[in-house]
Amino acid sequence: MVPPRRSPPTASKQPLASASPPAAAPSVAPATRILRVPLGGETVVLRLVAFPGGYGTLNELFEYLVLMQTGMADHVPLICVDRKFWQGLFDWVDKYPLRQKFLTNWFQGIRLLHFIDDRKGIISVIKKSAK
């Protein structure tokens, strides 16, 4: 059975200025923080802090690992906050793509990863990397 055809919606006769504003999107803090410092016309990344998040966070984290791996970005500490959240992902990376040799120079990148659960640990890594 074919559903009945609907006519296209008609345009509103109200002027745009009187239209009610769209509902505000929920305020969500970005899960990845990148500390960037302008230096002589360039922006230098000093460290990257990844909080638990979704696809965007994973994209940022792995994108930066790839950029470091290929020499297109400086090697900086990557701080993953909440060890329990991140551990399964990196266990999987170690178990499958790494053992099947799909990843090159992974050990250089993994040395820069820090899994931290508290504020003191984050500050400690940041202070050590600033030296």
**Number of residues that this document lists for the chain:** 131
Residue 25 is predicted with a pLDDT of 42
68: phi then psi, degrees, rounded to nearest 5 = -70, -40
Can you list the domains of the chain with their CATH numbers? 30-130 (3.40.50.450)
Number of Cβ within 10 Å of residue 50's Cβ equals 22
Q: Which residues of the chain fall below pLDDT 70?
A: 1-45, 105-109, 131
Residue 85 is predicted with a pLDDT of 95
Pairing assessment for the beta strands 42-50 and 32-39 based on DSSP bridges = antiparallel
